[in-house]
Amino acid sequence: MCHVLDKVPALLRAFADGYSYDVNRLGELERAIMDVLWESTDPLTVRQVSGNLTERDLAHTTVMTVLDRLAKKGFARRERDGRAWRYRAAATREAYVTELMLSALEQTGDRQAALARFARSVSDTEAAALRRALEALGQGTTDRVRGGGE
């Protein structure tokens, strides 16, 4: 009985590792497939997506599953073309980068709660004061000022 219990942490860890491996693997695939969709100007079939991936030996069903997941998450759109589905990116890469940065730079309370920014953007007058301080620092002696300690 004790032997079984001893193994529980190791089993849990193995399960967690396997899970995170699968998640990472899936994340890599999603990213690679989105890159293919962003590169292309036309909607692509599953076969064309497979063909454009650097990793060539992926099963057709794997690529299809990942495309399906991307469509469910809203990153890919699919449309019927005869008997096949064609996939394209729902928005450009730049649009997603902009969304990422805007949500990080937005300063209303709700966003602030989600992310912690290093320095919030400042008003024009404060920015001017900061620039002057920076110039003064550059001209001053470069002695290293230590903080207050702990």
Question: Would you tell me which residues interact with another protein (CB under 8 A)?
Answer: 20, 27, 30-31, 34, 73, 75, 93, 96-124, 126-127, 129-131, 133-134, 137, 144-150
**Segment 94-101 long-range contacts (CB within 8 Å, at least 24 positions apart):** none
What contacts 56, CB < 8 A, 6 or more positions away? 50
Nearer to another protein, 79 or 150 (CB): 150
State in angstroms the smallest separation of the CB of 14 from another protein. 16
Rounded Cα–Cα distance for residues 144 and 141 (Å): 9
Judged by beta carbon, residue 55 or residue 81, the one nearer another protein is: 55
Nearer Cβ to another protein (81/99): 99
Query: How many CB atoms are closer than 10 A to CB 67?
Result: 26
**C-beta of 116: minimal distance to another protein in Å?**
5
Tokens standing for residue 49: 């997506």
Could you tell me the smallest distance in angstroms from the CB atom of residue 105 to another protein?
A: 5
